[in-house]
A and B are shown apart, each in its own frame.
Chain A
């Protein structure tokens, strides 16, 4: 609760230097103990982090993974994952098939429960039973490889469902926002089309608009362009680049390395459930430290 309050205070601050200032003021004395696990304020200290503040994102931690482990039956899919994502940061996650990328981001909105460790999103611990999960999910937009639009609803209905049911907006207000978002993703004329009447690229842009309609603080993308024909990939990536420029906190699982170079603040390479390597795009592509990263990059950059 308190953590959330402090965080929303930070959210109100726009430029990076401004938020740094506030961070200075609220910085806790070093002897303040960590809040016990499960306590609503757990992870409060995470809002103030050390290290350089790269231009374009703020010094506020939005997502924290602390020693997260997860199993599917006997398969160990996430191993000791530690991760911090700051407000406004764009993190690209790559790695071979089955390395746990989808699982990693599905844990952030608890579509998958974790086995061990702790995840804190926007100041709220996912393992805390008092955390309002639906309220938290409402603030996290998610875009899927297979679009997952509701086939029995038009584009407009797809976009307005959650704002009306969860945010309790009036239908008119929700539709006004939906039409604005459809214009933003470049398909204002498709409002009354059903998903089956749209191309893959158009469907994915409706799916992005649907996620944005909830005015999320975080956007998660799970291989948003992998199911698309090549000529439709850029129309979706363009929307995502625009979103990144606006300062959205984004975690993007993708193998589109051009996109990663252009907008990512950080690239994470996963293998066998572990974060093997991470770094800014320049160093990540120029001289990857790990052998596994190098061989993976060789494979995907060849074509």
Chain B
């Protein structure tokens, strides 16, 4: 089988600009979906995570239910739900991009909420004791003592989750949203060279994901002020 590099040379601009960044007449775009999904999902995730941590059951139980429901179903199914449900409820079709974004935010918030909860719980109980004993209020304790340490512990999980979201955006192609996978499909059908196209697709996904995980390691060692701990983390993760 001969390998036709010309296919890639002729289409890479379309794939990257339209597929990855969403610049072009089709809208969509892998990063244009992944980044807002991560940001909005994290905001909802903080709310869900802190709700799960309260002792008031009427707040924590719904949060537990939310997390358990969305962790128990496949993302594809949630995307389909939104695709069929939103027109039923609102009476009008939303753009593919909006449907996909809504589905991703709702679905990923369940995972991000668990990351927030685990992050807060990873801070030793003694930190709460010391902060409260010094006269800080609950809010001051969270803001100045607990969350800075929790976020530091959460960064590796957050980056991992972002990489998952980044790769999962390919599922948005099933409702026809334009993104990297969809762009590759279009090109490969037009040119009838699926092998080259999907190989190129894999390389693009891999380079993006790998550079994100490298970035996370650098970030992790930079913001961690105690050098003992940061060298240990570096050694374990490399």
Contacts and interface: CB of A to CB of B under 8 A. Distances in A.
Q: Do A and B come from one complex?
A: yes
Contacts of A195: 226
Contact of B133 (A135, A140, A161): A140
A140 B149 CA distance: 25
A109 interface: yes
Given A196-B229, A197-B226, A148 B130 contact: yes
Interface in B131-156: 131-137, 140, 144-145, 148-149, 152
B133 A111 contact: yes
B123 to A, nearest CB: 9
Contacts of A207: 130
A150 B127 contact: yes
A105 to B, nearest CB: 10
Given A134-B136, A152-B149, A152-B152, A194 B129 contact: no
Interface residues of A, number: 30
B227 interface: yes
Interface in B211-238: 225-229
B230 to A, nearest CB: 9
B10 interface: no
A138 B135 contact: yes
Contacts of B127: 148, 150
A152 B145 CA distance: 8
Contacts of B228: 196-197
Nearest to A158: B130
Contact of B144 (A109, A165, A196, A214): A165
Interface in A196-235: 196-197, 207, 210-211, 214
B135 A214 contact: yes
A151 interface: yes
Interface of B: 124, 126-127, 129-137, 140, 144-145, 148-149, 152, 225-229
